[in-house]
Structure 1
């Protein structure tokens, strides 16, 4: 699957016009394209700011969710997150809300060899433990993150049959094991939704966690899938041990988390033909699940 076509061509000229119209005091700052992703286009604005704008309608509400909730969550988190410093609004040439935020220094974890990521494993576990607190009733709903794993059954079946997932027959029993794990009880917790290694910044440890567009309330097992997507075996053990010690989470949560690693890993493998780094994340996640196997419960790896 190729990256979706942009519904609005977000050019530097358009962004400059939006800034001039809504935040004219920043209009003289240089503008540099940083990323043009599936959902958003990101520019660096001067030395200290970024501009993040949806490129298609599917991402428009996600930006609003970040603008609404990140200011409330940021103070309770141990590292910076992309809290908005200015809000951009729809205009004649652009239909959606957009955000000006702080430039967060650090190197994306996806650019660091897997074997060199273990220094981030413990701090990322601490970050997620701090984030995973009860979510309010009006937390954003997300149909593909934080939900019961069984909700992914139909899509997972498509991915297993896609021809893109190697070792599918070895993965299938582990997927079924995850589906059979006890469901989470208790109130929904805040869930980042997508803390894969492209959304984690490192600088001699954890520097920041970005891209909260998928934020929702639900099962934190979704986020814990990053243990398989991001780390090698030793890093996964550090990640699991630290998070378990901080939260007292049960074994069933880790079994569901491994199921989420399969679901997300397959989705990345099937849908990332034009993004080699995300394709590599998906392949690594699935290989990590197989590397751990059924004996990967906390304390047994």
Structure 2
């Protein structure tokens, strides 16, 4: 379904559901995400509107779980201030959140990479320690083999894109090595499952908040090792690993999960989302150079 979202639609939705906020200015906020459109509402709030039905389900999931996770995590996370529903021709759920200050970290331009690595490890460790019954399954949180077909297909697509310079034989070797690694030895744990730079907010080089919990749930802890490859330089990567104390098999699966996502993302987004394509290239280079 092709839904056109603009400032006027957001104003009408807000006025209809939250008339007390109808006088506040609405302005689109530039985002490299692919699931939601984001709009500032006044100075202190933000509206997220999904572009797909699946994205709407993620917002509903956040409404249930974010308030219960907030007190258990060491940095800020989104606070839901209002829940909207279908109206004005918009067919799905949408939400209003409190605005969180900070900026997305920029690849290879981190002010405090070692301290950021420690901050990220504290957040991940806190997620893994959460004990809340009835948790949903994390998106992409199942066995690594469930990603096999899509990953091999992505490598095949990249063989037809020589301009990207990806060593596809080496990529396949990395992937097949990970598939031979042992799976998780214990019960699934709570994970954010989408720790991309665009979902992190930093200030003064330190982690201030983590956003977009649409993929959260219980799954393989390796799902939350993404920052080692999509953000941190080699030295900080080792600080991150040491702080979490993960074993070799978990580390290998985490690398493979980040690699798989990047291999799939690059051919999908290189013509439509430069930020995501550049991040995918960064991950592919980092993994193949390791």
Alignment match of 2:267 (pick from 235, 253, 270):
270
Provide TM-score, normalisation by structure 1: 0.88
Residue of structure 1 equivalent to 2:252: 255
Residue 192 (structure 1) aligns with: 192
SS of the aligned residue for 1:140 comes to coil
Greater shift in the superposed pair: 89-98 or 222-231: 89-98
Tell me how far 1:35 sits from its aligned partner.
3.2
Q: Are 2:50 and 1:49 equivalent residues in the alignment?
A: no
Residue pair 2:118, 2:243 contacting (<8 A) in 1 also: yes
Change (3 A) 1:122 1:64: same
Structure 2 distance, partners of 1:161, 1:72, is 42
CA distance, structure 1, for counterparts of residue 202 and residue 37 of structure 2: 22
Q: In the alignment, which residue of structure 2 is the partner of 1:15?
A: 10
Q: In the TM superposition, what are the counterparts of 1:98-247 in structure 2 within 5 Å?
A: 98-109=94-105, 111=106, 113-114=108-109, 116=111, 118=113, 119-133=115-129, 136=132, 138-142=134-138, 144-163=139-158, 164=161, 166-204=166-204, 205-244=206-245
CA contact (8 A) 2:13 2:88 kept: no
Segments of 5+ residues of structure 2 without an aligned counterpart are: none
Aligned length: 281
Aligned to 1:299: none
SS state of the match for residue 217, structure 1?
A: strand
Give, in whole Å, the separation in 2 of the partners of 1:27 and 1:196. Answer: 33
Indicate the SS of the match to 2:29: strand
Deviations 1:53-88 (A, max 9, x none): 112223111111111111110111111111211111
Q: 2:288 aligns with which of 290, 298, 301?
A: 290
SS in 1 for 2:141: coil
Unmatched 5+ stretches in structure 1: 1-5, 293-301
- 8 Å contact 2:78–2:212 — kept in the other structure? yes
Give structure 1 regions of 4+ aligned residues with deviation exceeding 6 angstroms.
none
Contact 1:114 1:230 in 2 (8 A): no
Contact 1:145 1:216 in 2 (8 A): no
User: What does the per-residue CA deviation read over 1:248-280, in whole Å, with 9 as the maximum and x for residues that have no partner?
Assistant: x32211111111121012122121121112111
Deviations along 1:19-68, one digit per CA (max 9) or x if unpaired, are 11111111111111003642111101111110001122231111111111
1:105 is paired with a residue whose SS is coil
CA separation of 1:151/1:99 partners in 2, compared to 1, >3 Å: closer, same or farther?
same
1:282 Cα shift?
Answer: 0.8
Query: 3-state DSSP class of the match of 1:152?
Result: helix
- CA distance in 2 between partners of 1:116 and 1:232 (Å): 12
Q: How does the TM-score come out when normalised to structure 2?
A: 0.91
Q: Do the aligned partners of residues 112 and 185 (structure 1) sit closer, same or farther apart at CA in structure 2, a change above 3 Å counting?
A: closer
- Residues 1:94 and 1:86: Cα distance change in structure 2 (over 3 Å): same
Once the two structures are overlaid, the 10-residue window that deviates more, 148-157 or 50-59, is 50-59
